[in-house]
Each structure stands twice: as structure tokens, then as C-alpha cells.
Amino acid sequence: MTVTEAATRARVAAAALAQATRAAKDAALYAMADALLAGTTGVLAANSADLDAARTAGTAPALLDRLALSTPRIEAMATGLRQTAGLSDPVGEVVRGSTLAGGLQLRQVRVPFGVVGIVYEARPNVTADAAGLCLKAGSAVLLRGSSSAARSNTAIVDLLRAAVAGTGLPADAIQLVDSSSHDSVTALMRARGLVDVLIPRGGAELIRTVVTGSTVPVIETGVGNCHVYVDAAADLPMALAILLNAKTSRPSVCNAAESLLVHAAVAAEFLALALPALHQAGVTVHGDAAVAAAGTAAGVPVQPASEADYGTEYLSLDLSAAVVPSLAAAVAHIRRYGTGHSEAIVTGSLAAAQTFVSTVDAAAVLVNASTRFVDGGEFGFGAEIGISTQKLHARGPLGLPELTTTRYVLTGTGHVR
């Protein structure tokens, strides 16, 4: 099936979904969760074949981690679908309303996008997350995953479509687009009038390609060159715990920390703690001269940092690091190299925290907390499509409300102008 044919069928499905009750959509979500659990063996077999092919192709460990499924990860996908069913239905929500002069009633109401296209790399869990969120938000979805996950995505989508059809909603609400060539991405990007919005989720090159080449409106999800800044007023043991969690708990995700900035006033003391701990955790530090000197003093190797290191989203156990003379210098560094995703400050100073929050340009800013909390599930939104780093129409985790648009409904009693 071509992208045009799939999108045409998706528009028909979207018209039916737009009229579906919350009960009908929730029933489909629960059925999708049950189908995933019942089909775990088949999904894992498909995923194992994808992983074998990826290893043979020399895929990097971070990407293998993103590609890999396990029974707990499939259970988490099913849990995410059930949590989405438990969330309020955004469709029909009145955003604001008023009575105009003369008695005309005005309401701004949330409505589905219609057909959502999602282009993403590697992570097959996105397949279930995106399908569930779009269905709950009343939109049909066209899923274009990467060729590396083709078997896994096919197995998942087959289960989800059968489950949706079994509850009486159209199976074409969820469709998998061919991933064997880049032609399908181009077709999605040019399907204006059939696809209402396109969401890229993946590496910088994929996102750049979609944003610059699409005639379909795009919601940009960004890469995560996230920073942890240790302020002069930081509790240093707290800062160390936050840094280790942000960097090492799951290095391959976009909310993992990629860069450390330390105020010069506490650099010697903090780096004496942090560098050995990072080394023990398997982290390679790419640091400036001050960090390298601290590494020598601590007996820990530090790689010289290049300009490129400070702008890199490693997605691995690598970390760029620099000593800065002030909070203002830290903010300037982040503004130069950051990607607008998530930035953290560790400080005991309310004034420093307020300055950081108000001057750092990012979708999420954390005070005395790990960047790993920037996630739709952690925010209580349920599953998410991704983290939007743009400023229109949504920013931060893309949950259910962000997957809708609005329309104005005016109700009168024969009003004329």
C-alpha cells in the first residue's frame, strides 16, 4: 500500500474516531494492552531477529538498547496503554467560553487533529505509545518506524489493529508505513491535505530532514543535549547523586545528561568526588583544562574536550564537562550548546535557582532534580509521543492535550451581523 492509499484510509478512520465515545476508545486501549501481553512471545521473536540483523550491521550499543524489547518492556507498553485509557479524554474539552454581546454563546473546544504521521527511529515501544495516544486523542495514525525495527513494529501493529477492530473501531486508525526506503518518509512529508500533522522523533538528522523538507505542518521533537550545572551554593553529595542518575540510569534516552558544568568555587571539591564516581560507573569524561587537571589530581583519565563534544548528544556513557566562573557563564554555555530540551541546576540558593529558571531557554528546567524526570509518564501525562523543543504549538512532553487542536463553536438564536 502506498502512503497516499494509507493516508486516504486513515482519513476515513479518523472521521469515525472523531465521533467515538470515551468508553469506546478506552475499550480499544484495554484490548490493545491485552493483545500485547498475549502476543509477547511473537513480538520478542520478531525483535530478536531485528537485533540479530542490527548487530550484524555493527549498530552502536546505544541504538541496540533503544531497539531491544524484553518481557518487562512489553509489560510497560501495555501498562502505558492502560494508563492512557485512565486519563481524561481531551476531545470535547472546553478550553474557554463566553457570552458575547447580544447573547451569542462562544466556546473553544478541543478536537482531534485527524491524521497524524509519526516518523521515528529504532524504538519499537514508540509504536504502541503513539498508537494509543493518537487513538485516545481521536486521531488516526500513520507510523513510519525505522527499517531496523521493521519486524518488531509489524508484529506490534498487527496485534494492535486486530484488537482495535475487535472492539468495533476501524483497524485503519493504526497503520504501519513501509520502512524499506526513504521514499515513504518523503511521501509523508508531502501528503499535505491527507496528513494533518507530522511528528519526527529520533536523531538530529532525521528531525532536521523532516522540519526543513515537509509541506505538512510539523511538531518538532528535539534531541537532548541536556546539562547539569553544579552551582557555587550546591549541596555536593546531592549534586553527585543527581549527576550519576542523570547520566548513567539510561544513557541512550533524550533526557539523559550529556554535559556537566561546575562553578569554579566548588570545582576542585566536587570534581574530586564526581570524576572517580563517573569513572567507576564506566563514564568517559571529555573535559576542559580545569577538568583534566582535576582528573590528574584524582588519578582518573579525562579526554580533552573539543568544540564538537560540547554540542554532542552522546546517547552513551560519555559526558562533556567544563568549569565555569559564574552562573551567567553557565547559562551562556547552555544557550550556545543546548538543544532546548532539559536543563538542571543544583543549588541551595533561591536567587540562583530563580535566575537559572528565568534565563535558560529550554522546554523543561529542573532545580535540584535529575533531568531523567522529564518524561510524560513521570509528569503524570501517561505515555508521550516525545519531548517538543519548539515553541509552537506545544512544548515539552507531548501528551493527550498536545495531540489535539481546537475549534470555535458559536451558538445563537438566529443571530445575524
CA–CA separation, 356 and 417 (whole Å): 50
Question: Tens digit of pLDDT for each residue in 353-382?
Answer: 999 999 999 999 999 999 999 998 898 877
Q: Does the structure show a pLDDT above 80 at 157?
A: yes
What is the average pLDDT across 240-254?
95
pLDDT at 222: 77
Q: What is the C-alpha end-to-end distance of the chain, expressed in Å?
A: 49
CA–CA separation, 126 and 77 (whole Å): 9
Q: Which residue type occupies 232?
A: A
As a whole number, the mean pLDDT across the chain is: 95
pLDDT at 161: 98
Alpha carbons within 13 angstroms on the beta-carbon side of residue 187 total 18
Q: If you count them, how many residues does the chain have?
A: 417
CA–CA separation, 158 and 114 (whole Å): 22
The H or E element spanning position 414 is none
Q: Which residue type occupies 171?
A: A
pLDDT at 358: 98
CA 45 and chain centroid, separation: 26
Burial 238-277 (b: 16+ CB within 10 A, else e): ebbebbbbbbbeebbbbbbbbbbbbbeebbeebbeebbee
pLDDT at 65: 87
Set of cell numbers at residue 8: 486516504
- Return all residues near 216 (Cβ < 8 A) that are at least 6 apart: 117, 188, 189, 190, 191, 192, 195, 196, 197, 198
pLDDT at 381: 79
Sequential DSSP letters for 155-198: HHHHHHHHHHHHTTS-GGGEEEPP-SSTHHHHHHHT-BTTBSEE
Report the DSSP beta bridge partners of residue 167.
Answer: none
Domains, the chain, ordered by start: 3-221+385-411 (3.40.605.10), 226-373 (3.40.309.10)
Question: pLDDT confidence of 94, banded at 50, 70, 90?
Answer: very high
48 near 56, Cβ under 8 Å?
no
Q: 531497539: which residue's cell?
A: 67
Question: Tens digit of pLDDT for each residue in 178-221?
Answer: 999 999 999 999 999 999 999 998 888 899 999 999 999 999 88
Set of cell numbers at residue 15: 472521521
CA–CA separation, 236 and 239 (whole Å): 5
What is the average pLDDT across 387-404?
91
Report the DSSP beta bridge partners of residue 230.
Answer: 262, 346
Q: Which residue type occupies 197?
A: V
CA–CA separation, 94 and 113 (whole Å): 16
Set of cell numbers at residue 258: 550529556
pLDDT at 210: 94
Q: Does the structure show a pLDDT above 90 at 153?
A: yes
142 near 7, Cβ under 8 Å?
yes
Q: Does the structure show a pLDDT above 90 at 61?
A: no
47 near 124, Cβ under 8 Å?
yes
User: How many percent of the chain have pLDDT more than 70?
Assistant: 100
Q: What pTM was estimated for this model as a whole?
A: 0.88
Q: Does the structure show a pLDDT above 80 at 383?
A: no
CA–CA separation, 315 and 256 (whole Å): 8
Q: Does the structure show a pLDDT above 80 at 62?
A: no
pLDDT at 377: 81
pLDDT at 87: 93
105 near 410, Cβ under 8 Å?
yes
Question: Tens digit of pLDDT for each residue in 29-60?
Answer: 999 999 999 999 999 999 999 999 999 999 98
Question: pLDDT confidence of 100, banded at 50, 70, 90?
Answer: very high
pLDDT at 148: 95
What is the average pLDDT across 295-312?
97
Lowest mean pLDDT among 16-20, 98-102, 120-124: 120-124
Set of cell numbers at residue 329: 557563564
177 near 143, Cβ under 8 Å?
yes
User: How many percent of the chain have pLDDT more than 90?
Assistant: 89
